Chains A and B, each alone.
Chain A
Amino acid sequence: MESININQSIAKNAQFIEEIGIESGQPVQKCYQCGKCTAGCPVAFAMDYTPNQVIRMVQLGMKEELLKSETIWICASCSTCSTRCPCEVEIAHVMETLRIMAGRSGTAPAGKAKYVEVMYDALLGTVEKYGRTYEVGLVLNNNLKSGKLFNGADMGLPMFQKGKLQLMPSKVQGAAEIARIFAEVRKMEGGVK
């Protein structure tokens, strides 16, 4: 974890808390740092900032640090935090919003976060092309892009043997409709590569 100049950060991003509040729909200002979200978070052990730290950093306007963090990508979206927060902050929504903001701002995820983004892109790539997820395509594409070529390779063979990896993608007839959805979203919102 890098050291952070809090004063400078607050001055620079005073409106950040409002921005997150609006986009995520969550009352982030209400958090009083009880730590319950972090106590129940199954991924906290692998995060660079814990969930309660993330919420505090939002309150402090530490946008850059958050958009660069691995936490927002490796969050498993399990909503344990959201279900337990006494202030009704859906932390999982805040994580999701930060992830989408990071994408929009062009902040390149690093370390463990990179593999998550590569997987998202590979998955959405197959959906845009075929309308459905194509698991072989996903595994190969993902491994190629992340450079972890043999990630899960010793698993791939048993998958084939059990007849669990299709060799051909199944394509929806309305593939043009799916392409339209992606195109419209790009036009309105951006964020999808």
Chain B
Amino acid sequence: MRYAYFPGCSYHGTGKEYEASTHAVAKKLGMELVTIPDWSCCGATAAHGKSHLLNVALPARNLAIAEGMGIGEVTTGCAACYQQLANANKRMTENQEIRDKVNKVTGKEYKGTLKVKSLVEAIGSIDPEQIKAQVVKPLSGLKVAAYYGCLLVRPPEITGFDDPENPMFMDNMMKLAGAEALDWAHKTECCGASLGVSNLGIAVKMINKILKAAVEKGADCMVVACPFCHLNLDWHQKSVNKQLGTTYDMPVFYFTELLGLAMGVSPDELGLKTHFTDTQKVLSLVG
């Protein structure tokens, strides 16, 4: 299994644990992730506020380069990048006029032959038995609230897989890793995304609702598939506590970190020591 891989701008900054754990898990599963040469920002969170055309052209440059790699499928861990790439791909493959216009803007020809998959979808399309075969340290007894947020599952005509209101693909993966996936109501509630940067006062109220729901269900930790969700739920957890007087202490993992742990990858290699909310209590729980 080979994929053209789009790291996304958070890959060696805020989302570096995601990047590290993605490569560790891919190696275990025999997935080859070939980085798109000289990839550039997909424009997520900003371009859609400024120009319809820019919003397609920024991801399109990457699609054009990826198409030249002759691999056929693109994947990325970041939910926001995934949506940008998938949206540009859909618009450009379905509408010749848009494709010509965007190609003129980028100066690179994208023919529209690629398939874009999120990393969860890419890993989820591996035979479950093959994943299970790699699990050497099952996360027995660990209660996980799988949080999907928005961009992985909505709008369904772009994301096009699983149920947009009650997705299960990450829950299923956590079960393969031996954990207990909780049935809870806030799986797809928005965490505020970039409001965490521009209007923290609004974002903390949104984050609070999600953390509260996970705590009430008795979650030991949460699991996410997006650096933005992680930033808001992990980094801003302190802001929530400070501004709203709460006392959350909820570890938040990337799904690849928990898969990696179950596959016997060391916590250091997975980057578990650089979270803002301490992960130690979960690490001691799963030994």
Contacts and interface: CB of A to CB of B under 8 A. Distances in A.
A80 B190 contact: yes
A155 to B, nearest CB: 6
A38 to B, nearest CB: 14
Given A116-B199, A123-B46, A185-B53, A164 B13 contact: yes
Interface string A155-181: 100110011111000101110011011
Contact of A181 (B105, B192, B235, B238): B105
A105 interface: no
A43 B195 contact: yes
A8 to B, nearest CB: 30
Interface residues of A, number: 65
Given A133-B41, A135-B14, A185-B54, A78 B49 contact: no
A124 B154 contact: no
A124 B50 contact: yes
B73 interface: no
Contacts of A159: 14, 235
Most buried by A among B53, B235, B274: B53
Interface residues of B, number: 57
A191 B48 CA distance: 11
A49 interface: no
B197 to A, nearest CB: 6
A124 B47 contact: yes
Interface of A: 23, 42-43, 45-46, 73-74, 76-80, 82-83, 90, 92, 96-97, 99-100, 103, 112, 115-120, 123-124, 127, 131-133, 135, 138-139, 142, 146, 151-152, 155, 158-159, 162-166, 170, 172-174, 177-178, 180-182, 184-185, 188-189, 191-193
Given A43-B195, A76-B194, A181-B58, 8 more contacts: A46-B199, A46-B202, A83-B154, A119-B197, A120-B50, A139-B197, A185-B57, A192-B54
